[in-house]
């Protein structure tokens, strides 16, 4: 399955969503989700950000493509995604959690050490943004 994630900064703060559903329910993560049939990755990023956070964005650049394979305690594959991560420019709107987001808000870099982030998200932010 192909999924998308989006890095959005506003005044040096990063937008994250608290996931309502698996995988990684109750963890903070980048806004994103699955690409729908007939949809481009850029269209998916715009739609997912609007659906999860209620804001408008403009995709700027491709940041990375990551394989996400999640296994259960027996080693069986539960989820397998190819994640296409973009950076986007914040255009407007007030952040408010929508659909499958339990929460959505802006975080300063110093706050990122105090919240639950999936390891894949933490490594991605360290690699590309030194956060």
> What pTM value is reported for the model?
0.91
For residue 43, what pLDDT is reported?
98
Question: What are the pLDDT digits (tens) for 77-116?
Answer: 998 999 999 999 999 999 998 878 899 999 999 999 999 9
pLDDT band at 25 (very low <50, low <70, confident <90, very high): confident
Tell me how far CA of residue 46 lies from CA of 4, 26, 41, 78, 85, in angstroms. Answer: 10, 23, 9, 27, 12
Token couple for 102: 């339990």
Domains of the chain: 2-129 (3.90.79.10)
| Pair 49, 55: CB distance under 8 Å | yes
Q: DSSP characters for 43-74? A: HHHHHHHHHHH--EEEEEEEEEEEEEEEE-TT
């Amino acid at each position: 399955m192909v999924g998308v994630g989006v890095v959005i900064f506003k005044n040096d703060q990063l937008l994250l969503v608290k996931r309502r559903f698996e995988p990684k329910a109750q963890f903070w993560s980048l806004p994103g989700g699955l690409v729908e049939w007939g949809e481009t990755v850029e269209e998916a990023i715009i739609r997912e950000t609007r659906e999860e956070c209620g804001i408008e964005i403009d995709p700027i650049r491709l940041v990375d493509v990551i394989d996400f394979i999640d296994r259960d305690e027996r080693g069986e594959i539960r989820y397998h995604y190819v994640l296409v991560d973009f950076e986007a420019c914040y255009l407007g709107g007030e952040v408010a959690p929508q659909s499958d987001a339990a929460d959505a808000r802006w975080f300063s870099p110093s706050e990122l050490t105090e919240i639950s982030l999936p390891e894949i998200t933490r490594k991605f932010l360290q690699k590309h943004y030194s956060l």
